[in-house]
Chain A
Amino acid sequence: MHSLSRRLLLSVSASLVAFFGVAILVLDSSFRDVTDRSLQDLLDAQIVLLVATSDAQPDGVFAPPTRDLPSRLAIPRSGLYAEIRKSGADESPWRSPSTAGAYINFGPPLKTGEKELRFTAVNGEDVAIASRGISFEDEARVRHNLTISVAASLKPYQEQLWSYRSRLFGGFFGLAVLLLATLGGLLRWVLSPVRRLEREIHAVEEGSQPSLGEGYPRELSGVATNLNALLAGERNRMARYRNTLGNLAHSLKTPLAVMRTTLGTCAPEQANVLGAEIDRMSDIIEHQLKRAASGGALLGQAPLDVEPLVSELRTTLLKVYARKDLLLSVTAEPNAQFVGDRGDLFELLGNLLDNACKWCKSQVRVGISSDAAAEPRQRLCIVVEDDGPGITEADSTRVLERGVRIDESVPGHGLGLAMVRDTVDLYGGKLTIARSELGGARISLALPGR
């Protein structure tokens, strides 16, 4: 219902129906007036003709001469009938030869000067009967009151009316269809930039396009430009924010490093206490700033391939854990992509792999795949398994509990995993902790992907 073109088409259809309806009613009633008048004229003309030609016949009946009868009155069942009746007389009235075989009730006799128009059915045929009472003075100057009636079948008029009506309806219907089709086509054409805008916004959401394209019509170009500016502004703001946090971490940690190196000159007890405090401060800086810097999903982010990133991390971790005999195997679908910030993905994978390498006996397995059937925010699957001690059920519930502060959460896998949870939440993803067939922890993430 919330479609502009559907609304417009519906409202136009409704007004078309109303407009055509009124037009049809007006045209129909005026057409009927015209046919009624022409019927009336025909009946009157016949009556006048009968009055003019009729005369008293030798048998006392008033009738027109048989030779001069109009052919429609002479031919039986022609659709035009006439009767001339003398009021008060017993003799049967004159009836036109066309009435042969049809019983027509022409109605009661009328007084002189009276007129009547009736509609009735004769043998299943609709007829109109016009009657007129006249006073007739014959040659012997005797006055006779006569009632002259003419009946005409309505069939030709009705046929005419129906053919007129069907032409009227057909014409209007065709016109309406044509109008609506034209309107639909126009709407498609006029609204196509809107549809393009919708499509591009969707593409930006999905990450297949960094911003909206060019070439929108004047009414929409403002919206598109502003949206693009908003996207770019948001990206810049985020980059600046992250940079600032990075610099902040850097500028706090260097003095801490200086403090730590000068600890050697202190007395051992003081050095221990101060050393512990320095460690705590650097932990706080590291975790809180890292957490603040993780961005979550930003609109218009280009999707990035996960495989190269995992293989870079693998190399890094093999160097970091060079003292351990690690088997770190990566199985990655080459087309698995992450929609989000590169740094965030590095943190997620880095923390998971770091934990796995730290706690494993010798084996770490990473699986990257994409699940096209899942919803877009959980389309990328990352599974990290190790053969270490694993995570107990109680600990994993604590990690997954929302609102557990980082420094309260599970030791060991703790800090890293809690940060992973926070970042996964930011992206609307899913974190699952289970036991691996290797014997240790099996941590799976579902993240926005393609």
Chain B
Amino acid sequence: MRILVVEDEATIRESLKSRLAEAGFTVDVAQDGEEGLFAGLEYPLDVAIIDLGLPKLSGLDLIRKLRAQQKSFPILVLTARDRWQDKVEGLEAGADDYVSKPFHFEEVLARVQALMRRAGGWATPELVCGPIVLDTRKQTVTVNGAPVDLTTYEYRILEHMMLRAGEVISKAELSERLYEEDLERESNVIEVFMGRLRRKLDPDDTLKPFETLRGRGYRFAIPRSSG
């Protein structure tokens, strides 16, 4: 797993570098926004940690430039500015999560690992399958234009299935998408979520978006029209 750390404070940068290396990452470091942009564009990264207060190119601008260049690896933001407006701006710019300074390394590591499990939706801002539209930026779902309230897990299952519409997806794979910890879950949990999704998306049972394939898993039956 290759990770980029962009941080201008040498002590923090070096500490993150050594502890992430201990955790098994291949670590690239950059000490300002421009170096960070170069590394972000050139190296095949799996995840990046970016401080918002950077010299030369601010963290926010760096994230915007990376996203504009179609880089979709997850980004964790480190910030000392923790007004909600700053946090929201960071995530709007294209980051996936944030940690406030001063931080505990364990927190950073946990967030990074969680991010790598949920691939960010930055490559595909909107998924459209027939009447079902999923906005990955806003995490909202509409059916025939009417908003549908989904829980985090329901949303995540739907997003994964719409991203891979037409493919057979096993229960184990869905379960892995849901839980960040590798815990054994009761086998019927996914069935419960599928049942709830069917009721919320297709109360009249006319769309039939999910196909159950006994013993193999599920398939999203409506083909992707865009995204």
Contacts and interface: CB of A to CB of B under 8 A. Distances in A.
A316 B91 contact: yes
26 contacts: A246-B81, A249-B81, A249-B82, A251-B80, A254-B53, A257-B101, A258-B9, A258-B12, A260-B104, A264-B15, A264-B105, A282-B101, A286-B82, A286-B100, A311-B138, A311-B140, A312-B92, A313-B88, A316-B87, A319-B96, A324-B152, A327-B151, A327-B152, A343-B83, A346-B88, A351-B84
B114 interface: yes
B145 interface: no
A438 interface: no
A290 B102 CA distance: 16
Contacts of B105: 261, 264
A256 B91 contact: no
A55 interface: no
A165 interface: no
Interface string B128-155: 0000000001111000000001111111
A99 to B, nearest CB: 110
A315 B80 contact: no
Nearest 7 pairs of A and B residues by beta carbon = A350-B84, A253-B80, A261-B15, A257-B102, A257-B101, A256-B102, A346-B85
Nearest to B115: A322
A46 B82 CA distance: 115
Interface in B164-202: 180
Interface in A342-378: 342-343, 346-347, 349-351, 362
A195 to B, nearest CB: 39
A347 B84 CA distance: 6
B61 interface: no
A312 B135 CA distance: 13
Given A313-B88, A319-B91, 11 more contacts: A246-B83, A249-B81, A250-B80, A250-B81, A254-B12, A257-B78, A261-B11, A325-B154, A327-B152, A346-B84, A350-B84
B181 to A, nearest CB: 9
Contacts of A250: 53, 80-81
Contacts of A321: 152
A319 B138 CA distance: 10
Contacts of B83: 246, 290, 293, 343, 346-347
A121 interface: no
Contacts of B47: none
B88 A316 contact: yes
Contacts of A346: 83-85, 88
Contacts of B19: 264
Contacts, number: 113
Nearest to A353: B84
B38 interface: no
A257 B12 contact: yes
Contact of A322 (B88, B114, B140, B154): B114
A258 to B, nearest CB: 5
B43 interface: no
B11 A342 contact: no
Q: How large is the interface on B (under 10, 10 to 19, 20 to 34, 35 or more residues)?
A: 35 or more
A49 B147 CA distance: 116
A117 interface: no
A329 interface: yes
B15 A262 contact: yes
Contacts of A259: 102
Interface of B: 9, 11-12, 15-16, 19, 53, 78, 80-85, 87-88, 91-92, 96-98, 100-105, 114, 118, 137-140, 149-155, 180
Contacts of B11: 258, 261-262
Interface of A: 246, 249-254, 256-262, 264, 278-279, 282, 286, 290, 293, 311-316, 318-327, 329, 342-343, 346-347, 349-351, 362
Contact of A278 (B87, B92, B102, B180): B102
B102 to A, nearest CB: 4
A254 B103 CA distance: 10
Contact of B12 (A261, A286, A326, A327): A261
Contacts of B92: 312
Nearest to A320: B97
A271 to B, nearest CB: 11
B139 A325 contact: no
Contacts of A260: 102-104
Most chain B Cβ neighbours within 10 Å, of A278, A315, A319: A319
Nearest to B140: A311
Nearest to A289: B83
A279 B102 CA distance: 8
Nearest to B85: A346
Contacts of A320: 97-98
Contacts of A342: 85
A90 to B, nearest CB: 126
B113 to A, nearest CB: 11
Nearest to B138: A315
Most chain A Cβ neighbours within 10 Å, of B15, B83, B84, B151: B84
A259 B9 CA distance: 11
Given A262-B11, A278-B102, A293-B83, A318 B139 contact: yes
Contacts of B87: 316, 350
B152 A322 contact: yes
B151 A314 contact: no
Given A254-B53, A322-B118, A362 B81 contact: no
Given A256-B102, A290-B83, A315 B139 contact: yes
A256 B149 contact: no
Nearest to B80: A253
A326 B152 contact: yes
B137 A254 contact: no
B16 A261 contact: yes
A384 to B, nearest CB: 14
A431 B83 CA distance: 21
A327 B97 contact: no
B102 A282 contact: yes
B84 A362 contact: no
Nearest to A311: B138
